[in-house]
Amino acid sequence: MKKDTHPTYYKDAKIICACGNSITTGSTVKEIHVELCANCHPFYTGKQKLVDTARRVEKFRERAAQEKKGAVSSKKAKTKARRTKKKSEKKPGK
């Protein structure tokens, strides 16, 4: 077997989070810096914020509210409603 083929394993490697939390574990790297850990990650803390730049969440909620009201949901019904709306918008005599 060749010598020095495996990296050095540190049993006391430190993982340091941006929030200040420090965890000791085993790794081939002596010190690891991370942005999120179990103490500050929104999924684990329950303080999750929705960043909605394209209004996706708001649009979804609007569509869900329309469906609850009894809005047309099938494709055939939508097409029929659209055609009747166009017919009513046409001006007489043309």
DSSP secondary structure code for residue 92 in this structure:
T
**Residue 93 placed within a domain:** no
Q: Please list the residues that pair with 10 across neighbouring strands.
A: 27
Average pLDDT on 5-25 reads 93
Predicted TM-score (pTM) of the model is 0.45
**Residue 25 placed within a domain:** yes
**Residue 59 placed within a domain:** yes
pLDDT at residue 71, rounded to an integer: 60
Count up the domains in the chain and report the number.
Answer: 2
**Residue 94 placed within a domain:** no
Domain that holds residue 2: 1-49
Residue 61: phi and psi, rounded to 5, are -65, -35
Examine the domain organization and report whether 35 and 66 are in the same domain.
no
Cross-sheet strand order for the sheet of 10-17: 22-27, 10-17, 31-34
Examine the domain organization and report whether 39 and 56 are in the same domain.
no
What is the residue-averaged pLDDT of the chain? Answer: 83
Spatial neighbors of 16 by CB under 8 A, at least 6 apart, are: 22, 31, 32, 33, 34
pLDDT at residue 37, rounded to an integer: 87
10 Å Cβ neighbour count for 72? Answer: 14
Examine the domain organization and report whether 1 and 43 are in the same domain.
yes
Examine the domain organization and report whether 44 and 56 are in the same domain.
no
